[in-house]
Structure 1
Amino acid sequence: MFNILRAATLVAAAYVLIACTATQQDSLYQKAMDLGEWKAGLDEQKSDIADIEMNYLIRKGDGPILMLVHGFSANNSTWLQFADKLPDNYYLIAPDLAGHGKSSEADSYDLERQAERLKALAEHLNLGPFHIIGNSMGGAISAIYSARFPEDIASLILIDSAGLDGENQSQFFAELEAGDNPLIATDEASFEYRMDLILEKQPPLPWPIRPALIRETVERAPLNREIFDDMLATRERMDQNEMKRMISSNVNMPALIMWGEKDRVLDVSAVAEFKKVIPQAEVKIYPDLGHVPMLEDPSASAETISSFISKLD
């Protein structure tokens, strides 16, 4: 998402010469996202899916089908630069999960319910077996989907995935235990702290787009709290033992685990826990990246995944 904004620099320069209003900032931000979608060959669509109106990006092709599942408080623009680096014939679907991006809100953000909505999307699009790729919360949802509907899944690809805890506690979980949630930004200072926590390799975010993104993120704080509470409720209901049992019993398809070694949200020690229950999984660790490798280094992430998928076809 953020690397794409380089392409908006020339447009931004025109705004720098004047006092750029909030409306102009928001307009430029949306134009940058539109440019990223166009560059990656993605079209934006909306459909009634299960109990919500779901927004999703789609690029049809005659190659492997990939569903890209973003993380907590993110949206499908997370995947734009990554999608642009994948082979042109890949069939891509990048949904906004319920309550995120341009999809509508819902009565529940339970992770199993989110997986069921993705199942409904796959049926709506009449997809054959597809590769599901999930980051962070999206990884946990992807693992649940793969365990509940394994017949749909050609492979499971987890990128710094939630769902199983590692031996070492992350900075994020330490702060959460202390009563703070650094993933929910409530002002400019907490937004900047959140960005630093999530991204080890900070992409450029040109002014005046940055204030538009800050406003959008801060305005979402009440809804993000609701979504996070439902995510924690899922975690309590489906405890570690239940998650391990469900994954180990049903996730038998090819799998790939990718992780940024400097992840301060979900510690890299979780890789070993996932590997125990998905023994067939290949593992790729990026030594200089953080929680969102496909955003921090989209080229390397796309190369890892396309190489993995090419061996399966």
Structure 2
Amino acid sequence: MPQLEVDGASLTYDDEGPRDGQGVPLAFVHGWTANRHRWDHQVAHFAEARRVVRLDLRGHGESSGAGAGSIDALAKDVLALLEHLEIERFVIIGHSMGGMIAQTITLAHPERVERMVLVNSIGKMAYNRGRVWLMAASRLVPFKLFVAANTRRAFAPGYPRDEVRGHIRAADTPREVVMTLYGAMRAFDVLDRVTEIRTPTLMVHGYHDIQLPLAEMLRMAKAYPDAVIRVLDAGHQLPVEKPAELTGALAHFITGRG
């Protein structure tokens, strides 16, 4: 896999699809503790007709480097990759923390973002009793138990247990990266600025998401001047829980029909 050296990290990325494809390139950004393969279904679909880029954020997947101290720093990594690939204008699609990165990039460079998609993402970290308990437990229990508990919470009730266990076994983001980026997400807050975003935006959320609750997304959506909202019967992990439905929603929006 190709890699790009950026500020002490080696970022692994994929650059697929025809360079002269239909429309501007798509840039997919995964969430906290995930990796670029969270988007496998979506990339396989879109790369048939247009250029698609995705990366492992620093410290995740096959990318090296310690966890960034802020969402701004992760946004700079994504922009560095796009500049390396000579991609000036793009559609950005971010899941969870990746949506925070997408909003950061869109606020800083609105002229470069043709459309934005936020999947299970919000403009400010939401707190509830479950999350407070889980993060407190992270300091008291073995890290693997914390990862397992956090992963289970990410899926809707009834999602196949074997598949959840598979995601738990595959989790390999180092503790330092996980906890550093949790701090970065806690500090993230653009709610007062989203009215500045004039970029056409799609917000897709899982009805059963308890990681970043639907109510928080709807609270943010009220401030967006130009947003389309889709709610699917899933939890926090829409790209893998409802891959075909998510891909369909993206395709409808990206082509300008919604």
Structure 2 length normalisation: TM-score?
Answer: 0.86
- Partner in structure 2 of residue 199 of structure 1: 155
RMSD over aligned Cα atoms: 2.8
SS at match of 1:278: coil
- Partner in structure 1 of residue 71 of structure 2: 111
- Partner in structure 2 of residue 173 of structure 1: 131
Is the aligned partner of 1:45 residue 2:2? yes
- Partner in structure 1 of residue 228 of structure 2: 282
* 8 Å Cα contact 1:66/1:93 also seen in 2: yes
SS at match of 1:85: helix
Written as runs of structure 1 = structure 2, the 5 A alignment for 1:202-213 is 202=160, 204-205=162-163, 213=170
* CA displacement at 1:291 relative to structure 2: 0.4
- Partner in structure 2 of residue 268 of structure 1: 214
* 8 Å Cα contact 1:55/1:95 also seen in 2: yes
Q: 1:63 aligns with which of 3, 14, 22?
A: 22
* 8 Å Cα contact 1:198/1:265 also seen in 2: yes
1:195–1:170 Cα change, 3 Å: same
The amino acid across from 2:131 in the alignment is: F
Written as runs of structure 1 = structure 2, the 5 A alignment for 1:181-192 is 181=138, 186-187=143-144, 189-192=145-148
Which 10-residue stretch deviates more, 291-300 or 195-204? 195-204
Task: Tell me which structure has the larger Cα radius of gyration.
Answer: 1
1:57–1:277 Cα change, 3 Å: same
Give me the whole-angstrom Cα distance separating, in 2, the residues matched to 1:176 and 1:191: 10
* 8 Å Cα contact 1:199/1:291 also seen in 2: yes
* CA displacement at 1:48 relative to structure 2: 1.9
* 8 Å Cα contact 1:170/1:267 also seen in 2: no
SS at match of 1:101: coil
Q: 2:192 aligns with which of 239, 245, 251?
A: 245
- Partner in structure 1 of residue 248 of structure 2: 303
* CA displacement at 1:165 relative to structure 2: 5.2
- Partner in structure 2 of residue 136 of structure 1: 96
* CA displacement at 1:52 relative to structure 2: 2.5
- Partner in structure 1 of residue 237 of structure 2: 292
* 8 Å Cα contact 1:99/1:227 also seen in 2: no
Give me the whole-angstrom Cα distance separating, in 1, the residues matched to 2:88 and 2:216: 31
Alignment deviations for residues 183-233 of structure 1 (CA, whole Å, 9 cap, x no partner): x9722x4444223201113475499x778525x35xx2233223323333x
* 8 Å Cα contact 2:138/2:146 also seen in 1: no
1:202–1:107 Cα change, 3 Å: closer
Q: Percent same amino acid at aligned positions? A: 21
Give me the whole-angstrom Cα distance separating, in 2, the residues matched to 1:107 and 1:81: 26
Alignment deviations for residues 135-187 of structure 1 (CA, whole Å, 9 cap, x no partner): 11111111011000111101110011143356xx546434257x2359x9722
- Partner in structure 1 of residue 176 of structure 2: 222
* 8 Å Cα contact 1:109/1:231 also seen in 2: no
1:136–1:224 Cα change, 3 Å: same
Q: Compare the two structures and name the one with the higher helix fraction.
A: 1
1:193–1:245 Cα change, 3 Å: closer
* 8 Å Cα contact 1:156/1:253 also seen in 2: yes
Is the aligned partner of 1:154 residue 2:114? yes
Unpaired stretches in structure 1, ≥5 consecutive residues: 1-43
Give me the whole-angstrom Cα distance separating, in 2, the residues matched to 1:210 and 1:139: 21
Give me the whole-angstrom Cα distance separating, in 1, the residues matched to 2:194 and 2:223: 6
Give me the whole-angstrom Cα distance separating, in 1, the residues matched to 2:219 and 2:124: 7
* CA displacement at 1:67 relative to structure 2: 0.7
1:124–1:87 Cα change, 3 Å: closer
Give me the whole-angstrom Cα distance separating, in 1, the residues matched to 2:185 and 2:207: 24
- Partner in structure 2 of residue 34 of structure 1: none
Written as runs of structure 1 = structure 2, the 5 A alignment for 1:16-27 is none
Unpaired stretches in structure 2, ≥5 consecutive residues: none
Give me the whole-angstrom Cα distance separating, in 2, the residues matched to 1:78 and 1:110: 22
